[in-house]
């Protein structure tokens, strides 16, 4: 197995491994170390059926059960799919993951990681962008760090301030999904110890103790800073890619910039995380 760093802060390409076969303990440990060190692993040249995706991703931890079960595969419900061919009930096309976000931060223990396995890709475009929130935190002014340390954000399923709308939850899912949870705006990575900005434009409804006039411009300023190009890694998909990223220290977004007559279809699974601190 070879691991090649792709930028000086985020992303590594992994080659020379077939995750449809059993993996020994040393390789599993090396993959987990690389995940914490590089935050995004692009494991190339995999050809995995849904159950094999599950086996591969479980090398990094137990599965997190998604809030919205609408996209679960009938034969392997822990795996969901992403497709540009889905529509909202009003007929508008639904591009999952457009706009900067971190996954399921409206959970008390949000997923530590998300993995996608490319099944069908458009001939061009449809990249996934990642922004490194630890690098962005480290580059904040001391005054801004002091301002956000100790602030707590209110996360909900769908923020009323977000231009991007999510697919609605079923009534059964609404029963399971918390109404609101609180997470620090600056969190510490439980494995690396690095501090990161932890914001999410589609999920944050407000900041505890601040009125919207103060909270919304602050969140906007943090997002503008954190998503500057210098903190980004842009993943250009290749057939067979299995990409796993760390939601604890990254924002990510999909790009709907390709011909919608072409299909973009990927398997998706998330891994259980801790309470952000
Ligand atoms: C996601 O946000 O989970 C999807 C990202 C992508 O489709 O590139």
Would you state the pLDDT for residue 67? 82
The per-residue b/e assignment along 148-187, b for 16 or more CB within 10 angstroms, e otherwise, is beeeebbbbbbbebbeeebeebeeeeeeebeeebebbbbb
- Residue nearest atom 1 of ligand 1, based on CA coordinates: 97
Residue 179, pLDDT score: 84
Q: What is the dihedral of CA 35, 229, 100, 197, to 10 degrees?
A: 60
Give the confidence band of 237 by pLDDT, cuts at 50, 70, 90: very high
Ligand 1 atom closest to 252 (CA)? 2
Report whether residue 128 contacts ligand 1, using a CB cutoff of 6 Å.
yes
pLDDT, position 157: 92
- Identify the residue whose C-alpha is closest to ligand 1 atom 6: 254
In the DSSP assignment, the letter for residue 1 is -
Which tokens go with 240? Answer: 């067979």
Q: What distance in angstroms lies between residue 83's CA and the mean position of ligand 1's atoms?
A: 10
Answer yes or no: is pLDDT of 148 > 80: yes
Band (pLDDT 50/70/90 cuts) for residue 69 is confident
pLDDT, averaged across the chain = 95
pLDDT confidence tier of residue 95, bands split at 50, 70 and 90: confident
Distance 101 CA to ligand 1 centre (A): 9
Q: Which domains does the chain have, with CATH numbers?
A: 2-271 (3.60.130.10)
Alpha-carbon gap, residue 186 to 199, rounded angstroms: 8
In this structure, the residue with its CA closest to atom 8 of ligand 1 is: 254
pLDDT above 90: residue 104: yes
Best CA proximity match to 60, nearest among 196, 244, 250, 251: 244
Q: Is 75 exposed, middle or buried (0-12, 13-18, 19+ CB in 10 A)?
A: exposed
Which has the closest alpha carbon to 31: 265, 271, 230, 275? 271
Which pLDDT score is estimated for 45?
Answer: 98
pLDDT at 178: 77
- Locate the ligand 1 atom nearest the alpha carbon of residue 235 and give its number: 8
Which candidate, 179, 177, 178, 226, places its Cα nearest to that of 201? 226
Q: Is 119 in the pocket of ligand 1 (CB under 6 A)?
A: no
Residue 173 backbone dihedrals phi, psi, to 5 degrees = -65, -35
For the CA of 114, the closest atom of ligand 1 is: 3
Among 37-41, 64-68, 165-169, 180-184, the minimum mean pLDDT is found in: 165-169
Ligand 1 centre from 243 Cα, in Å? Answer: 10
Pick the atom of ligand 1 nearest to 255's CA: 8
Note the pLDDT of residue 118: 98
């Amino acid at each position: 197995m070879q691991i090649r760093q792709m930028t000086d802060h985020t992303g590594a390409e992994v080659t020379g491994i077939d995750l449809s076969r059993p993996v020994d303990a040393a390789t599993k440990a090396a993959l987990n170390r690389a995940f914490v060190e590089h935050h995004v692993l692009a494991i190339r040249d995999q050809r995995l059926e849904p159950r094999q995706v599950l086996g591969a991703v479980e090398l990094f931890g137990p599965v997190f059960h998604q809030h919205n079960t609408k996209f679960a595969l009938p034969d392997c419900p822990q795996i969901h799919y992403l497709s540009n061919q889905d529509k909202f009930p009003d007929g508008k096309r639904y591009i999952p993951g457009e706009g900067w976000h971190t996954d399921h931060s409206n959970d008390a223990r949000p997923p530590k990681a998300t993995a996608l396995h490319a099944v069908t890709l458009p001939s061009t475009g449809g990249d996934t962008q990642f922004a490194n929130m630890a690098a962005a935190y480290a580059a904040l002014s001391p005054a801004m760090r002091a301002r956000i340390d100790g602030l707590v954000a209110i996360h909900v399923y769908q923020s009323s301030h977000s231009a991007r709308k999510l697919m609605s939850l079923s009534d059964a899912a609404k029963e399971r999904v918390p109404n609101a949870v609180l997470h620090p705006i600056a969190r510490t990575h439980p494995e690396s110890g690095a501090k990161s900005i932890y914001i999410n434009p589609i999920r944050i409804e407000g900041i505890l103790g601040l009125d919207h006039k103060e909270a919304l411009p602050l969140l906007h300023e943090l997002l503008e800073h954190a998503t500057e190009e210098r903190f980004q890694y842009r993943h250009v998909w290749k057939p067979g890619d299995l990409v796993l990223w760390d939601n604890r220290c990254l924002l990510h977004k999909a790009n709907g910039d390709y011909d919608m007559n072409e299909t973009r279809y990927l398997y998706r699974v998330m891994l259980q995380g801790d309470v952000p601190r």
